[in-house]
Structure 1
Amino acid sequence: MSGVVTLSPKQAKSIAEATARINIWSGAVRSGKTIASLLRWLMYVATAPRGGSLVVVGKTNDTIARNVFEPLMDPALTGPVSRRIFYNRGAPTANVLGRRIEIISANDIRAESRLRGMTCAGAYVDEATLIPETFWDQLLARCSVTGSMIFCTTNPDAPNHWLRKRFILRQGELDLQFWHFVLDDNPSLDPAYVANLKAEYSGLWYRRYVLGEWCMAEGAVYDMFDPDRDIVDTLPLMERWIGVGVDYGTVNPFNALLVGVSVPDEHGQRRIYLASELRYDSKKERRQLTDAEYSKRLQHWLENIPASHGPGTYGVRPDWLVVDPSAASFITQLYHDGFAPIAGDNSVLDGIRTVSNLIAAGNLKVHRSCEGWLSEIGSYSWDDKKAAAGDDVPIKLDDHALDAGRYILHTAQAAWLPLLEPVPAY
């Protein structure tokens, strides 16, 4: 079935050995674990016992479409079999090799109810560490048809995560097979891409997403930040003002950060700059501002930032205005005042990883005037108590400017990421 692609020895071995009730592929990003698991899932669907439902599970419908069905329906992976896989993004069911497949998103503990009353003959679980533990337990109970099997992938998480403690570490006790992949296990990757990926990750993210280790988040969140390297006193010419990130606060500080992408340097490389900061601390000022007052200050700030059109010119018009998603009333006020704000993506870990990768690769520079952001980054740390319980959570203290930066950098990633590709020399 996999004749279109060339499998690595580890991929082939995992497919051949995935005969347990629970089969888990874990490891680095782009290490080949997902391809191996999907091919094994297809083989299972072709021969799965009747008398029960087949299920595909993921955190959201979007991740299921992207991580599961886009590869399955790609002829480069599954060849002629791709023509026997039918799925529309967001649909509650799919058809794979003539079998009906139930699609279930499991984004929170309420998802468990979607399994109630179901009898399953097998399941594929994408990003298993993101699935609620109660849902996983219910899925195991529902896979009651004789010969039913579960296949799942995951990136490494905290060492005390329930999936590792209750299942992976008990491989010898349970009917379970487990495979650990590292980035170098995928020989089909371009060596330049592998080298870049290794350079872009550091610390916690390097250990998890390159080495595939289950390691604890501890110490400083942005331990890769180097003030001598990453703080600048002078801004270069900007090619594009990507946007502004806003962390809204009334009692807590209000923060806005302007992000720009520079013109290519002598090596053809653009970089992202935190160029300017608007900060208002009501405790220090002894006065809280209204939404309308914050909106007016934001407008005045943008109008008086030196532009990139030459000396003596002022005013920038960023492409994006990304706001703290919990600040509904402020977003409404901004619309009223002629802005076009959007609610930021508040996926904390994903956002932290985006910022971390930029810093580690040397692609994020911070102007010295961004005093709030610079004052917060050194003390921004992981919560040791929650890490010990298996949860990656930063301590929620003095992080307002950092949140503003995370909102704009993570939410607008599609806008700036292509610009960081080096400009070819002719």
Structure 2
Amino acid sequence: MLDTLPLSRKQLRSVVQASARINLWHGAVRSGKTIASLLAWLLAVAEAPPSGLIIVVGRSLQTIERNVFEPLQDPALFGPVAAQVRHTRGATTAAVLGRTVHLIGAADARAEGRLRGLTASLAYVDELTLLPEAFFVQLLARLSVPGARALATTNPDSPRHWAKVGYLDRAHELDLRAWHFRLDDNPSLSPAYVAALAAEYVGLWRRRMIDGAWVVAEGAIYDMWDEQQHVVDELPAMRRYWVGCDYGTSNPFAALLLGLGNDDRLYVVGEWRHDARAAHRQLTDAQYSARLRAWLGEQGIVPEWTFVDPSAASFITQLWADGHPGVARANNDVLDGIRSTATALDSGLLRIHRSCAGLLGELPGYGWDAAASEKGEDRPLKRDDHSVDALRYAMHSTRHAWHHLLPRGGECGA
């Protein structure tokens, strides 16, 4: 295996030294930490005592299959050893080097119960920071066979995350070894790919995912926002349209029309908002549906898709009943949605028309919740966020349609 993989000195050193009770590979995305950890884990499986279970843990069975078993079964990575890794998609067990391996998804605190009563000799943990702390504590308690080990990988998170405070920062007190990886620690990446990946991460995510730093979310979320750069008075011809809707009854309702211009840029073309408090009048779902459709009709636009706050089930049902085309529940992954929007703004791909007053008023003040950051959580302040949420819905739900337009290491166009 060592002859098959092009490993850096840091990767090789981590494989050889992974003999502590807790072994942690952390750092930038695509920095080579996963391949090194998997190689160390295969060697650990070959040496594992016959007593005690061998466990692989991840946020879900699907992420375990994608992040662990797909690479392990790739002969281009692991050569002939890949043939000794057998797993059927959807199964909760696998065979690795002749040993039975148990797969456990741990999406929430209830998963802790799946470990009760187990005795384990070896565990591999994929994306440690995404797991509940109580689950990891219980997992370590189950590693009770003499010489038992846990091998874990993770991208960095908040410096107050439990994995950082409770384990990495206490490495000198624990039987723990850790290796930090930067993007340039992976010898198999081409310079062009490194430049492309670096262009896709900005702000907080650049420091975490490219530099591999455990940094706190603080200040403005869209700190790259520049009204002179991002606001336009004129629009080019558009070839595609989508709508993002943030539903509100007592809070403002916001709908944004996102267009893909013939110049290969994204534009927030227009905005429709209803603030029940300012107007002293709440609207029903049927009235919202009628006004949204009338607003689009005035512009002669039929969007390909209308992405709606997924919690607004009654409004989605109303749109379907009214025959509004292309209604879909928006992708509401908050942090990934913020990252998609930030990447488009930072790269120069996204512009906003000056008529979108609600959005332009919210963007500069959209910030991280300092109280949440103190607890190790990344969470936006829930204040003046209606149009920015509608923007996030539209941007992240259409990422597949515009991701290829991102520049590779530079500004988007002139």
Give the % identical residues: 55
- Alignment correspondent of 2:97: 97
One-letter amino acid of the structure 2 residue matched with residue 336 of structure 1: A
TM-score, normalisation: structure 1: 0.91
Q: 2:270 aligns with which of 276, 284, 287?
A: 276
Q: 2:309 aligns with which of 306, 324, 329?
A: 324
- Alignment correspondent of 1:333: 318
Shift in alpha-carbon separation, 1:408–1:99, aligned structure 2, 3 A: farther
3-state secondary structure, aligned to 2:56: strand
One-letter amino acid of the structure 1 residue matched with residue 360 of structure 2: L
- The answer as to whether partners of 1:46 and 1:97 remain within 8 angstroms in 2 is yes
Q: Aligned partners of 1:60, 1:342: CA distance in 2, in Å? A: 25
Report deviation, 1:13: 1.2
What whole-Å deviation, never above 9, does each CA across 1:166-211 have from its counterpart, x for those lacking one? Answer: 1111112211110111111123222122223333433222211111
- Alignment correspondent of 2:412: none
Between Structure 1 and Structure 2, how many residues are aligned?
407
Q: Aligned partners of 2:244, 2:219: CA distance in 1, in Å? A: 26
- Alignment correspondent of 1:250: 249
Aligned structure 1 segments of 4 or more residues deviating by more than 4 angstroms:
419-422
Report deviation, 1:93: 2.1
3-state secondary structure, aligned to 1:118: coil
- The answer as to whether partners of 2:86 and 2:96 remain within 8 angstroms in 1 is yes
3-state secondary structure, aligned to 1:378: helix
Q: Aligned partners of 1:96, 1:412: CA distance in 2, in Å? A: 39
Q: Aligned partners of 1:284, 1:42: CA distance in 2, in Å? A: 63
Q: How does 1:32-43 map to 2 (within 5 A)?
A: 32-43=32-43
- Alignment correspondent of 2:78: 78
3-state secondary structure, aligned to 2:10: helix
- Alignment correspondent of 2:291: 297
- The answer as to whether partners of 1:125 and 1:150 remain within 8 angstroms in 2 is yes
Shift in alpha-carbon separation, 1:173–1:193, aligned structure 2, 3 A: same
Q: Aligned partners of 2:234, 2:272: CA distance in 1, in Å? A: 18
Shift in alpha-carbon separation, 1:335–1:284, aligned structure 2, 3 A: same
Report deviation, 1:414: 2.0
Report deviation, 1:252: 0.7
- Alignment correspondent of 1:67: 67
Q: Aligned partners of 1:409, 1:88: CA distance in 2, in Å? A: 35
- Alignment correspondent of 1:212: 212
Q: How does 1:105-120 map to 2 (within 5 A)?
A: 105-120=105-120
Shift in alpha-carbon separation, 1:180–1:79, aligned structure 2, 3 A: same
TM-score, normalisation: structure 2: 0.94
- Alignment correspondent of 2:17: 17
Q: Aligned partners of 1:98, 1:337: CA distance in 2, in Å? A: 58
Shift in alpha-carbon separation, 1:9–1:345, aligned structure 2, 3 A: same
Q: How does 1:340-351 map to 2 (within 5 A)?
A: 340-351=326-337
Q: Aligned partners of 1:66, 1:302: CA distance in 2, in Å? A: 41
What whole-Å deviation, never above 9, does each CA across 1:36-88 have from its counterpart, x for those lacking one? Answer: 11111122222222222211111123322222222122221112222222223
Q: Aligned partners of 2:69, 2:384: CA distance in 1, in Å? A: 41
Report deviation, 1:150: 0.7
Q: Aligned partners of 1:2, 1:257: CA distance in 2, in Å? A: 53
3-state secondary structure, aligned to 2:270: strand
Q: Aligned partners of 1:94, 1:275: CA distance in 2, in Å? A: 51
Q: Aligned partners of 1:256, 1:90: CA distance in 2, in Å? A: 39
- The answer as to whether partners of 1:200 and 1:360 remain within 8 angstroms in 2 is no
- The answer as to whether partners of 2:155 and 2:208 remain within 8 angstroms in 1 is yes
3-state secondary structure, aligned to 1:304: helix
Q: Aligned partners of 1:260, 1:75: CA distance in 2, in Å? A: 43
One-letter amino acid of the structure 2 residue matched with residue 366 of structure 1: I
- Alignment correspondent of 1:381: 367
More displaced, 20-29 or 38-47?
Answer: 38-47
More displaced, 362-371 or 134-143?
Answer: 362-371
Q: Aligned partners of 1:107, 1:373: CA distance in 2, in Å? A: 34
One-letter amino acid of the structure 2 residue matched with residue 74 of structure 1: D
Q: Aligned partners of 2:115, 2:322: CA distance in 1, in Å? A: 46
Q: Aligned partners of 2:406, 2:220: CA distance in 1, in Å? A: 26
Structure 1 residues not aligned, in runs of 5+: 306-313
